Structure 1
Amino acid sequence: MPDISLTTVLLLCLAAGAAGWVDAVVGGGGLILLPAMLLGLPSGTPAAYALGTNKAVAIVGTTGAAVTYVRRTPLDLRLALRIGLAALAGSSGGALLAAGMSTQVLKPLVMVVLLVVAAFVLLRPDFGTAAAPGGVTRRRVLAAIGLAGVGIGFYDGLVGPGTGTFLVLALTAVLGIDLVAASATAKIVNACTNAGALMTFGWNGTVLWQLAGLMALFNLAGGATGAHTALKRGSGFVRAVLLVSVFGLLATLAYQQWLS
């Protein structure tokens, strides 16, 4: 494992907890976790280690949140698993391409994703407040498997940040379900994308397992707390928190990019 100070490890663990909480409620925990990894790991560490370790942490919190949702809210588990299997295949392919990606390429990509998510959250605050009429049709299911499964799964393996948010948005738009149902379904799909990418990163040896283990405990606690928050309070308050986090990280990454 690279030489990382105790203070940095503690800050990364706190970031993992915050990411788990945000991800469980509205998605997008990777918008906190991956930039924190890129900032916290020593200069010169290949980007693949940040990506791989991020997946090892995220899968724990996402799985914990998924279990909480399954126990507390009704959802179509069979449909979620069908989309999840497609996402697992897509994320495995994306992770294969990510192995050779440099930090200089990754940081601008993360910044673009941060801007897109921030703009959408600002411009569409009432998106998904109620289910669309007509129910979930076969055509909508196939579209969700292609877009949310293969497409976003591939993105998750390649880059990752914002996957949870993109899944919630895609599932709401394509399936016509409300945000709570979409969040619950997205957690199952996201657990599958994390598993697919993690298998590839683990096979390539680009996971810092000791650091990931510590951060995963915080991520799990944050995810479980976030899932309960979503079921009790909704996503309005968390949208505000997400925006603050996104703009703060965007500013930090932009400053680092400017210095380099």
Structure 2
Amino acid sequence: MDYSVVLLLCGFSFLAGFVDAIIGGGGLIQTPAMLFTLPQYPIPTLIGSTKIPSLCGSLMGAFQYGRRVAVAGRFIAPMMAIAFGASWLGSWTLTRVPNSFMKPFALVILIAVFIYTLTKKEFGQVTRQSVPAHQQRIRMWAMGACIGFYDGFFGPGTGSFLVLGFIALIGFDFLKASAHAKLVNAATNLASVLFFVKEGTILYAVAIPMAVANLCGAFFGARLAILKGNQFIRIFFLLVITATIIRFGWDLVG
């Protein structure tokens, strides 16, 4: 592997980890970089190789947030287990059926999310306590199943969907939602890593250096998000959703 190629991919991976730690969406940077830079490899190999950097970034983000943000441990641990199993099932399903229908579906949802977040200035700015504990449990576990499967089956935008779910369904603010999203995303990424390791479709010569770069980006991204707070994360959320909409729209038109 050419060292200049590896360094270029590490740069993209650092940026992906930085963005992903704040609000999710790092896959929009890292995955296209792999596909464009190493077109000679099969797509499953490239996708599988991005999962190790993504896992490292998620773990670093989860660690940074966990030190400063209170986590609903009794609910999040079962949610992570459910998301892990659902992500594995999603990855297995991907090897048997096409996922091309997911892009238009996700695009419609993202446009609705963008409009809602833009018009509701108070969305995600404070933690609401109106959701009873038993409802939080049910909703979190359902989110883990649905979004976990989505991440294993398709992937892009998973972190943003998790943040949205924690805010809209559980009542968290942006900072707390991001902290919990990182934990769940780590579980889904771990499931995908184990699946692709089993399938033997990982370029370790690229994945390991990218993992270090992604981890470093996640460190700085999480620190910045914690320092700046909810309003900063909200703006970043809108930017990432916009980039995701443009990416999906471009792919559909092209």
1:61 aligns to what?
A: 57
Instruction: Determine the C-alpha separation between the residues in 1 that align with 2:16 and 2:94.
Output: 22
Contact 2:76/2:140 (<8 A) preserved: no
Deviation (angstroms), 1:9: 3.0
Q: Quick one: which of 13, 32, 36 aligns to 1:35?
A: 32
Instruction: Determine the C-alpha separation between the residues in 1 that align with 2:36 and 2:109.
Output: 21
1:23 aligns to what?
A: 20
2:45 aligns to what?
A: 49
Deviation (angstroms), 1:120: 2.2
Q: Quick one: which of 110, 131, 151 aligns to 1:117?
A: 110
Deviation (angstroms), 1:130: 1.6
Instruction: Determine the C-alpha separation between the residues in 2 that align with 1:240 and 1:166.
Output: 12
Instruction: Determine the C-alpha separation between the residues in 2 that align with 1:118 and 1:210.
Output: 37
Distance of aligned partners of 1:205 and 1:110 in 2 relative to their CA distance in 1, 3 Å threshold: farther
Deviation (angstroms), 1:197: 1.4
Pairing 1:155-166 to 2, within 5 Å after superposition: 155-166=150-161
Distance of aligned partners of 1:172 and 1:243 in 2 relative to their CA distance in 1, 3 Å threshold: closer
Aligned pair 1:235/2:228, yes or no?
no
Q: Deviations over 1:75-106 (max 9, x none)?
A: 2123221110100000000111223567xx65
Aligned pair 1:11/2:8, yes or no?
yes
Deviation (angstroms), 1:41: 2.2
Question: SS of 1:160's equivalent?
Answer: coil
2:210 aligns to what?
A: 215
1:129 aligns to what?
A: 125
Distance of aligned partners of 1:215 and 1:117 in 2 relative to their CA distance in 1, 3 Å threshold: farther
Contact 2:128/2:171 (<8 A) preserved: yes
Contact 1:48/1:101 (<8 A) preserved: no
- Percent identical residues: 32
2:178 aligns to what?
A: 183
Deviation (angstroms), 1:246: 3.6
Q: Quick one: which of 181, 187, 190 aligns to 1:192?
A: 187
Q: Quick one: which of 159, 164, 173 aligns to 2:168?
A: 173
Name the aligned partner's letter for residue 61 of structure 2. A
Name the aligned partner's letter for residue 57 of structure 1. P
TM-score, normalised to structure 2, is 0.86
Contact 1:111/1:253 (<8 A) preserved: no
Question: SS of 1:196's equivalent?
Answer: helix
- Structure 2 residue ranges without an equivalent (≥5): none
How many corresponding residue pairs? 248
Instruction: Determine the C-alpha separation between the residues in 2 that align with 1:156 and 1:192.
Output: 10
Instruction: Determine the C-alpha separation between the residues in 1 that align with 2:131 and 2:14.
Output: 36
Distance of aligned partners of 1:215 and 1:114 in 2 relative to their CA distance in 1, 3 Å threshold: farther
Instruction: Determine the C-alpha separation between the residues in 2 that align with 1:121 and 1:17.
Output: 26
Question: SS of 1:74's equivalent?
Answer: coil
Instruction: Determine the C-alpha separation between the residues in 1 that align with 2:241 and 2:87.
Output: 26
